[in-house]
């Protein structure tokens, strides 16, 4: 067990929350973001006292059929996305006790570079809107960034040492003790053997991860797990169980801001426009960890109840149409099934 000294600094001064959102069938409803905020309130309320950055990733093209993962929306989807952004801004400003008057926001701009610098088009401009106290920041890119560039753009605006990265359709379903996790990350920064730079939270596919085929089928990873998996005990008596994670997932995670920028985004060539981190950097990091180079990435999985506790639920933002539409569709299917049963009985 490792003894951790509790930091006297409040979480609100150490951490910034990044929420990425994009066109979704449920727009212009804010149900997805509301579900995230509600899960924070119920399971990790300290997140609502931290600074927050909302990245409104956009679309690339308008077409008859939506392919949201490819950045393609319908004409109706394009129209509702503007309404969605406005609704989310109002929701966030209210939640973080800010003036809902959009005119009070401080405007700015920036650029997200990617690929080779010799290609002039390898830049996406974006607008920023920020509350005067810098508690809330909105980022609106002119073109689609993709998850990787969206996170990089937000990270470069952050001044806190730690960041919580949150996709718009992964609400929390279990309590998470944030302050001890931050203390562990802060105190282990100089630990060469077991630094804690990234903590992912378990979805259903990550339960019992330490005993899964992702670990046990690889002797190096199995050995690292046996030597590193532990309970970190803080000076206040809190016990936090972590196991090494051999991947960099996009799903909600806590990380060191400096580590994120230097390890995942060391240059503009790191992630291309439209790419996900786990599809690129995630695969690269896992390959290196299989060779024993885990400490370079320092990735962990939050592991309460020895890996049996679920912390996240996926709302399937690319297909979920919101509660009202889902109920309407359910009613239609029930009516159709009832007609089929009547025809069979007749």
- The pLDDT score that the predictor gives to residue 107 is 97
- The pLDDT score that the predictor gives to residue 330 is 55
Interacting residues of 125 by C-beta distance below 8 A, sequence separation 6+ = 109, 110, 111, 112, 141, 142
What fold, for 11-307? Spore Coat Polysaccharide Biosynthesis Protein SpsA; Chain A (3.90.550)
Helices (H) and strands (E) in the chain, counts: 10, 14
Pull the structure tokens for residue 341: 């049963």
- The pLDDT score that the predictor gives to residue 281 is 96
Mean pLDDT of 211-221: 97
Mean pLDDT of 234-258: 94
Which pLDDT band, with edges at 50, 70 and 90, does 295 fall under?
Answer: very high
| Nearest by Cα to 183 from 30, 313, 8 | 8
- 138 forms beta bridges with 54, 129
Taking the C-alpha atoms of residue 225 and residue 244, their distance in angstroms, rounded to an integer, is 6
Pull the structure tokens for residue 208: 């019992």
- Flag whether pLDDT at 214 surpasses 50: yes
Which pLDDT band, with edges at 50, 70 and 90, does 324 fall under?
Answer: low
Cβ count near 326 (within 10 Å) = 14
| Nearest by Cα to 131 from 106, 158, 159, 157 | 106
123 or 342: which carries more pLDDT confidence? 123
- Collapsed DSSP state (helix, strand, coil) of residue 166: strand
Interacting residues of 98 by C-beta distance below 8 A, sequence separation 6+ = 92, 131, 135, 136
- Flag whether pLDDT at 215 surpasses 60: yes
- pLDDT, tens digit, for every residue of 165-198? 999 999 999 999 999 999 999 989 889 899 999 9
- The pLDDT score that the predictor gives to residue 331 is 58
Cβ count near 21 (within 10 Å) = 24
- Collapsed DSSP state (helix, strand, coil) of residue 230: strand
- 3 forms beta bridges with 233
Mean pLDDT of 328-335: 57
End-to-end distance of the chain based on CA atoms, in angstroms? Answer: 70
Taking the C-alpha atoms of residue 112 and residue 155, their distance in angstroms, rounded to an integer, is 11
Contact predicate 196/300, CB 8 Å: yes
Quick one: what percent of the chain has pLDDT higher than 70?
90
C-alpha atoms less than 13 angstroms from C-alpha of 39 in its C-beta half-sphere:
22
Mean pLDDT of 150-154: 98
- pLDDT, tens digit, for every residue of 300-320? 999 999 999 999 999 986 776
- Flag whether pLDDT at 337 surpasses 80: no
Helices (H), the chain: 11-14, 31-43, 75-95, 146-155, 178-187, 213-216, 219-228, 257-259, 277-290, 323-345
Pull the structure tokens for residue 214: 């992702």
Give the domain ranges of the chain. 11-307
- Flag whether pLDDT at 333 surpasses 80: no
Cβ count near 222 (within 10 Å) = 14
Taking the C-alpha atoms of residue 62 and residue 64, their distance in angstroms, rounded to an integer, is 7
Pull the structure tokens for residue 253: 């995670």
Task: Round the average pLDDT of the chain to a whole number and report it.
Answer: 91
- Collapsed DSSP state (helix, strand, coil) of residue 71: coil
Taking the C-alpha atoms of residue 157 and residue 150, their distance in angstroms, rounded to an integer, is 11
- pLDDT, tens digit, for every residue of 21-46? 999 999 999 999 999 999 999 999 99
Mean pLDDT of 142-150: 97
- Flag whether pLDDT at 6 surpasses 70: no
- pLDDT, tens digit, for every residue of 253-292? 999 999 999 999 999 999 999 999 999 999 999 999 999 9
Interacting residues of 111 by C-beta distance below 8 A, sequence separation 6+ = 123, 124, 125, 126
Contact predicate 145/55, CB 8 Å: yes
- Flag whether pLDDT at 338 surpasses 70: no
Which pLDDT band, with edges at 50, 70 and 90, does 223 fall under?
Answer: very high
- The pLDDT score that the predictor gives to residue 121 is 93
| Nearest by Cα to 255 from 52, 14, 94 | 14
């Amino acid at each position: 067990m490792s003894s951790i000294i509790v930091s006297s600094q409040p979480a609100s001064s150490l951490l910034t929350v990044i929420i990425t959102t994009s066109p979704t069938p449920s727009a212009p409803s804010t149900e997805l973001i509301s579900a995230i905020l509600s899960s924070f309130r119920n399971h990790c309320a300290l997140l609502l006292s931290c600074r927050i950055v909302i990245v409104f990733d956009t679309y690339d093209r308008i077409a008859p059929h939506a392919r949201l993962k490819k950045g393609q929306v319908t004409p109706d989807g394009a129209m509702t996305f503007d309404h969605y952004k406005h609704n989310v801004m109002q929701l966030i400003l209210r939640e973080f006790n800010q003036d809902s008057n959009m005119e009070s926001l401080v405007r700015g701009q920036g650029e997200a570079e990617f690929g080779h610098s010799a290609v002039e088009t390898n830049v996406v401009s974006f607008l920023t809107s920020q509350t005067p106290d810098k508690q809330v920041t909105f980022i609106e890119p002119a073109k689609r960034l993709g998850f990787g560039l969206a996170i990089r753009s937000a990270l470069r605006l952050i001044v806190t040492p730690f960041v919580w990265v949150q996709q718009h359709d992964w609400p929390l379903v279990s309590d998470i003790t944030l302050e001890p996790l931050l203390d562990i990350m802060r105190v282990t920064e100089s630990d060469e053997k077991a630094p804690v730079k990234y903590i992912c939270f378990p979805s259903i596919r990550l339960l019992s991860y330490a005993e899964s085929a992702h670990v046990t089928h690889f002797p190096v990873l199995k050995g690292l797990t046996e030597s590193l998996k532990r309970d970190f005990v803080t000076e206040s008596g809190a016990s936090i169980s972590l196991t090494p994670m051999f991947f960099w997932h996009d799903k909600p995670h806590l990380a060191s801001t400096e580590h994120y920028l230097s390890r995942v985004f060391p240059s503009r060539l790191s992630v291309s426009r439209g790419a996900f981190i786990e599809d690129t950097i995630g695969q690269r990091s896992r390959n290196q960890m299989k060779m024993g180079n885990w400490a370079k990435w320092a990735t962990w999985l939050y592991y309460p109840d020895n890996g049996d506790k679920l912390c996240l639920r996926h709302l399937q933002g690319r297909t979920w149409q919101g509660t009202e539409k889902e109920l309407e569709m359910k009613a239609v299917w029930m009516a159709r099934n009832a007609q089929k049963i009547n025809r069979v009985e007749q």
